[in-house]
Amino acid sequence: MSRDRTVNVLTVMLVVLLASGPFLPRWAMFLSTVSLCYGTVVLGMMLLMRTGLVSFGHGLYYCLGAYAAGTLQPFFGITEMSIMIGAAVAVTGAVSALLALLLRKYRDIFFAMLSLAFSMILYGLLVKTSALGSTDGFNVTAETLFGVRIAGTAYERYLIFAVTAFLAWICAMGMLRYLGSHRGRLAEAVRDNELRVEYMGASVANTIHVNYVVSAMLAGLGGSLMAISVGHIDPEMAYWTTSGEFVFITILAGTGNVLAPFLGAAIFETIRSFAYEYSPNTWQMALGITMLLVIMFLPGGLWSLFARTRKAG
Amino acid sequence: MRPLRALSRFTALALATVALAVPAAPALAQDSIRIGLVTFLSGPAAGPFGVPARLAAEAIVESLNAGKAPSPYNAKGFGGSPIELVVIDEAGGATKQVAEFRNLISRQNVDFVVGYISSGDCLAIAPVAEELKRLTVLFDCGTPRVFEEASYKYVFRTRAHATMDAVAGARYLLEQRPDLGAYAGINQNYAWGHDSWADWTAVMSVLKPEAKVTTSQMPKFGAGQYGAEISALMQSGPEVIHSSLWGGDLEAFMLQATPRGLFKRSGLVLVAGEPNLHRLVGNVPDGTIVGARGPHGVFAPKSTLNDWLRQIYQAKAGYAPNYPAYSVAQAFLGLKAAYEKARLEKVQKAIPMGANRNVKEEMEKAYGRPTTEEVIAAFEGLTFDGPSGKVMMKLGKGHQAVQGTAYGMTRTVGGEVRLENIKYYPVEQVQPPEGVNSLDWIKGGLKPGKW
């Protein structure tokens, strides 16, 4: 899909989401909110994957973002949504900028394992922190949005949904711009041939560093939005299975377009949710079969369906 | 290549559409009451807790719908309306559970939700139930935080919270070993393990301040291997070991510790050992102190309700019910009692004697279903009979149940683990009174409240 067309589709989708929100059934609105949160995280994973790196530890930033937003209330008494989200992005940005110094030296399985190790360290620390409820976690509420009280109002859910959709739109637009920029295009070059990139005069280390920090901040943003919409956070968010879920959605969606992560997340959440309902004993199998089918028939992810249609037409 | 592409495209699209297009609301009988049941069907908690709870719930609903339960629960279903169960897996963590809870209510349109074994899930669900204004009965989770950190209108918990485990366990232990000098602990490194050990050490420091802690082992959840922990416990030589292990972890620990002779030197207290007891034949030393957070399972005193539950559960599962079966029974019977009380009160209040206007409409309204608010009003502070005795909704402004509890000692007789020397503890000895935080109550000297 061409860039201009993606911009149009993104904007149309935002408008459709915002306009249809009040008419959606409550479960569908929540499912969309959760999908948008996941989609934001996976958008960052997509960028990393385009750089040739698979992180099995993005739960670290997802969880860190959620805790950065959630602990503002017990520690500082802050329940303003914009500050919670800002804090999440700032904290994950700072931590990832530091960790990237080490991680950018590794590739492939070593990168995956090292990032997994860092996320499990955070998990271990949080489990030992009884003050934050250990594995039980604690509840999070965003009481106000730009100073206006939203908690407990009739439009609380819609506002959270709208904020999430709007931020996801900004992220997707930003990512689209970034992917088209000089540095953004370097990502795939790094994946294909690092040596050649260095000979061209570009820095592989810098590219990976920047892309890693961007993807971490997106994960932190997704985590804080998830914390606000779900209303509860626990260390499970940093556990390796959560990171694995992000990899799952990234592979399911494909890395062809900035729309893919949101499509993948929406399909993943929908299948999971209906599988819970219709086969409570075998819902995991439904997800596994979907994954198998996608890997066997659509190695480029669900997005390749659209890419191919375009070529054929 | 071309047919394969077409096929692949078709498959993926079909999958997506099937998922999206499945009819959202299944056809439902107009007069049945839909209850969402959320319990572990997969993962480590499914075997000892989740599946027994599900089997018990299904057996109870069948029996209630047939009107075969003993008095006062002999009306069919809930006040004559049959019950329909919608079962959901609790696995997947709090985020997914919040999503599924919303689905249960706005997609499945259930009237009530009964569920949640994990304390983390209970904490996450309670505010959502409040937001969606749907009566939710937490049936098994233990953390006192649910009603001590917040108060809810739409959330009830029909079993007592976990504080009684440590309080009654320590009282029982000290009755058996009044001159206890040293104890140790082995608990999993997660919220329940931490809380259980924190409660236990707090109670011991009140009831037996001179007893020393030799070691506290915190293996990770699902560790499976306990070689190092067993060595540490053996070296430290405690007289008694406290443990909140459960499920597969408990079984693995017992299988590894018994042959090494750990229990030849040290006694053992298993605060959550009851659900696994029947699987530990040959691997649990005689004299192990076991509790069930309430007089459930083998501790349940004989009564017609208890006989009823044991009989229908045995018929369904093929073995005797353990404590999760009793807690789910308490949830359904409590809800039924509240529902029928609300219905009765509605009928009694509705038709003033001598009224001659709108009699038909008034009658229809009175005999209609009670609203959620009316059921809540009837539920608050309710006292009802469960299979293990009286249950009083007396904490958390009438939303949290209290009950006495029991502890006993194991003795293996002819390939069966039995509990002997069972001692019952009344509510005031094991539960904090209203408005007092559990840990504060323990540290403040366990002063019995007024009930």
What token pair was written down for B307? 């006989």
Q: Which residues pair with B384 in a beta bridge?
A: B391
Distance CA A292, CA A252 (A): 10
By CA distance, what is B12's nearest residue in A? A294
Domains B33-162+302-401 and B164-292+404-443 share a fold: yes
Q: Residues B201, B271: contact at Cβ < 8 Å?
A: no
| Interface test with chain B among A27, A136, A230, by most B beta carbons within 10 Å | A136
Nearest to B124 among A231, A272, A290 (CB): A231
- Closest residue to A277, CB basis, from B103, B131, B191: B103
- What's the CA gap between A234 and B8, in Å, rounded? 39
CA angle A5, A10, A11 (to 5 degrees): 100
CA atoms within 13 A on the CB side of B271: 31
Residue B241 and residue B187 in contact, taking contact as beta carbons nearer than 8 Å: no
> What fold does the segment set B33-162+302-401 form as a domain?
Rossmann fold (3.40.50)
Mean pLDDT by 10 residues, chain B (451 residues): 48 50 45 92 89 94 93 90 93 89 91 93 93 94 90 94 92 92 92 91 93 92 90 92 91 92 92 85 90 90 93 92 93 94 84 66 78 93 93 92 93 88 91 89 86 68
Among B38, B100, B102, pick the best mutation site for testing chain A contact (most A Cβ within 10 A).
B102
> Residue A271: its chain B contacts at CB < 8 A?
15-16, 19
Euclidean distance between CA atoms A41 and B397, whole angstroms: 41
Q: Is A244 on the interface with B (CB under 8 A)?
A: no
State whether residue A141 sits within 8 Å of chain B by CB. Answer: yes
User: Which two three-digit tokens encode residue B264?
Assistant: 């030849």
A95: confidence class by pLDDT, cuts 50, 70, 90: very high
Query: Quick check: B209 and B176 in contact, CB under 8 A?
Result: no
**A138 at B interface, C-beta within 8 A:** yes
Residue B95 CA to residue A23 CA, distance in Å, equals 24
pLDDT of residue B362: 73
Chain A residues within 8 A of B94 when measuring between CB atoms? 137, 230, 232-234, 236
Instruction: Give yes or no for A207 touching B (CB within 8 A).
Output: no
Mind listing the domains of chain A with CATH numbers? Answer: 3-312 (1.10.3470)
Q: What is the DSSP letter of B151?
A: -
Return the structure tokens found at A260. Answer: 């893919």
Question: Across the interface, do A136 and B107 touch by the CB < 8 Å criterion?
Answer: no
Q: How many Å is the Cα radius of gyration of chain B?
A: 24
Distance, CA of B350 to CA of B247 (rounded, Å): 51
pLDDT at position B351, please?
62
> What distance in Å separates residue A82's CA from the closest CA in chain B?
21
Phi/psi for B281 (5° steps) reads -55, 130
CATH class of segment(s) B164-292+404-443: alpha beta
H or E element, residue B115: strand B112-115
Q: How much is the pLDDT for A5?
A: 84
Distance to chain B for A189, nearest Cα, Å: 28
* Section A87-92 average pLDDT: 96
> Can you tell me the distance from the alpha carbon of A213 to that of A224, in angstroms, rounded to the nearest whole number?
16
Query: What is d(CA B236, CA B214) in angstroms, rounded to the nearest whole number?
Result: 6
Return the biggest CA–CA distance within chain A. Answer: 59
ipTM: 0.85
Rounded to a whole number of angstroms, the distance from the CA of B142 to the nearest CA of chain A is 11
Judge: A232–B98 Cβ closer than 8 Å, yes or no. yes
Q: What are the domain boundaries of chain B?
A: 33-162+302-401, 164-292+404-443
Per residue in A282-300, pLDDT (tens digit) is 888 888 888 888 888 888 8
Q: Which pLDDT score is estimated for B26?
A: 45
Please give the DSSP secondary-structure letter assigned to residue B78.
Answer: B
Find the CB nearest B8 among A276, A281, A298.
Answer: A298
pLDDT, residue B23, reads: 44
pLDDT for A312 equals: 42
**C-alpha span between A285 and A272 (Å, rounded):** 10
Best mutation target among A232, A263, A270, A291 (most B Cβ atoms within 10 Å) is A232
Q: Which residues of B239-248 are buried (b: 16+ CB within 10 A; e: fewer)?
A: bbbbbbbbbb
| Cα separation values, A268 from A34, A249, B96, B411, Å | 11, 7, 12, 51
